[in-house]
Amino acid sequence: MRVLVFFITSLILTFLPTCCVAGDFIPTVYVYSGDMPGFGEELVELLDGSIEGFEFVAIGDPTLLSSLMPMPDTACIVLAVMKGKEVETLITPLITYFMEGGALLGFQGCLSLNTVGELARVGFPVFGNATGPFTVKGGVPVNEYVRGEDVPGFADLPDQFDLLGQFYAYSANSSKDPVDPRPATGSKRVVYRDESTGAPMIVSYENDAGSRSISLAGFFVRPTETARNYYGKLLGDPLFKDLMVDCISWTLDGATRAKRFATTYEDMIADERERRQGLIQTAERNKSDLQRRRMLLLAIAWAVGVVSMVGLVYLGFFRNSG
Distance, in Å, from the CA atom of 189 to the CA atom of 222, rounded to the nearest integer, reads 28
Q: Between helices 265-313 and 2-21, what is the axis angle to 10°?
A: 110
Q: Could you say whether residue 63 binds another protein (CB under 8 A)?
A: yes
Which lies closer to another protein via its Cβ, residue 61 or residue 225?
A: 61
291-310: which residues touch another protein (CB under 8 A)?
294, 298, 301-302, 305, 308-309
Pick the piece of the chain touching another protein (CB under 8 A) from 140-148, 204-212, 217-225, 280-288: 280-288
Q: Between helices 37-47 and 238-252, what is the axis angle to 10°?
A: 80
218-257: which residues touch another protein (CB under 8 A)?
257
Residue 115: its H or E element: helix 113-116
CB 94 within 8 A of CB 103: no
Which lies closer to another protein via its Cβ, residue 100 or residue 253?
A: 100
Q: Could you say whether residue 313 binds another protein (CB under 8 A)?
A: yes
Among 9, 10, 92, 160, binds another protein (CB under 8 A): 92
CB 225 within 8 A of CB 256: no
Beta-carbon contacts of residue 307 (< 8 Å; ≥ 6 apart) = none
Nearest residue to 127 (alpha-carbon basis) of 87, 163, 172: 172
Pick the piece of the chain touching another protein (CB under 8 A) from 76-84, 94-102, 139-147, 169-177: 94-102
Pick the piece of the chain touching another protein (CB under 8 A) from 145-153, 186-194, 232-240, 278-286: 278-286
Distance, in Å, from the CA atom of 235 to the CA atom of 214, rounded to the nearest integer, reads 18
Smallest distance, Å, CB 282 to another protein? 6
Give residues in contact with another protein (CB under 8 A). Answer: 20-25, 61, 63-64, 66-73, 92-93, 96-97, 100, 257, 261, 265-266, 268-269, 272-273, 275-277, 279-280, 282-283, 286-287, 290, 294, 298, 301-302, 305, 308-309, 312-313, 315-317
